[in-house]
Amino acid sequence: MIIEKVVHFVKQSKKFNYNHIILEDLELIGSFRAKNKEFNTNYGRLSKILNLTSLKHKIISIVHKHGLNVSFVQPDYSSQNCVCGSIKRANRIIQENFKCVDCNFIQNADEHSAYMIKDRGVSAVLSFELLVINEFNEFRPKKLKQVIIKQKLEQHYSKVNKLSF
């Protein structure tokens, strides 16, 4: 079923003339060793159970088969990061809603996370800071510590926010 959904998504992307898909890097999610306190789950173990690395390779294969590119970005802070530069857990207290505690920006949480993921790949500054480009002109995450990723995201969005006023 997942493969069918991916194929449908890729076909829809082509229909709307998108030639590049940007996703969170599932491989990095699998490297988490911390436990989720809310669900008492070890992310690394969950990743192995769900076989997320294999799923990532299947997605790459499907996307390439349809003539599109696929890039992966770090998953860190995509659900907590606001366009104003604020990165706080409190920005995402409710699963369905994103509400920035600093600037009061409100949006559907899934839409907001998708925007933040996309921005990491299309922003020249963020892609240079966070990603490396491969031989297919696709991005892959640089191996950076979370504190560095957070710092780069905060700096980028606070500068962009200042320029927009």
54 plus 126 within the same structural domain: no
40 plus 90 within the same structural domain: no
Whole-angstrom Cα distance, residue 96 to residue 22? Answer: 22
Q: pLDDT for 30-65, tens place per residue?
A: 444 455 555 566 656 665 666 656 778 888 999 999
pTM: 0.79
- pLDDT of the residue at 160: 74
Whole-angstrom Cα distance, residue 45 to residue 35? Answer: 10
56 plus 80 within the same structural domain: no
Average pLDDT of span 3-12:
93
Q: For 96, phi and psi rounded to 5 degrees? A: -85, -20
Q: b/e map of 55-67 (b: 16 or more CB within 10 Å)?
A: ebeebbebbeeee
* Position 143 confidence tier, pLDDT thresholds 50, 70, 90: very high
The number of domains in the chain is 2
Burial of residue 111 (number of CB atoms within 10 Å: 0-12, 13-18, 19+): exposed
40 plus 80 within the same structural domain: no
Closest CA to 98 of 110, 114, 85: 110
69 plus 79 within the same structural domain: no
99 plus 163 within the same structural domain: yes
126 plus 154 within the same structural domain: yes
- pLDDT of the residue at 13: 94
81 plus 69 within the same structural domain: no
- pLDDT of the residue at 95: 83
- pLDDT of the residue at 102: 94
Instruction: Tell me the HSE value of 76 on the side-chain side, using a 13 A CA sphere.
Output: 19
15 plus 88 within the same structural domain: no
Q: For 14, phi and psi rounded to 5 degrees? A: -65, -40
Of the three residues 73, 95, 127, the one that is the final residue of a domain is 73
Q: Using an 8 Å Cβ cutoff, are 33 and 41 in contact?
A: no
- pLDDT of the residue at 3: 87
Of the three residues 18, 44, 73, the one that is the final residue of a domain is 73
Q: pLDDT for 63-102, tens place per residue?
A: 999 999 999 999 999 999 999 999 999 999 888 999 999 9
51 plus 63 within the same structural domain: yes
In sequence order, the β-bridge partners of residue 140 are: 132
Inform me whether the pLDDT recorded for 163 exceeds 60: no
Q: pLDDT for 103-123, tens place per residue?
A: 999 999 999 999 999 999 999
110 plus 155 within the same structural domain: yes
Range of the domain at 149: 75-137+144-165
Of the three residues 73, 98, 128, the one that is the final residue of a domain is 73
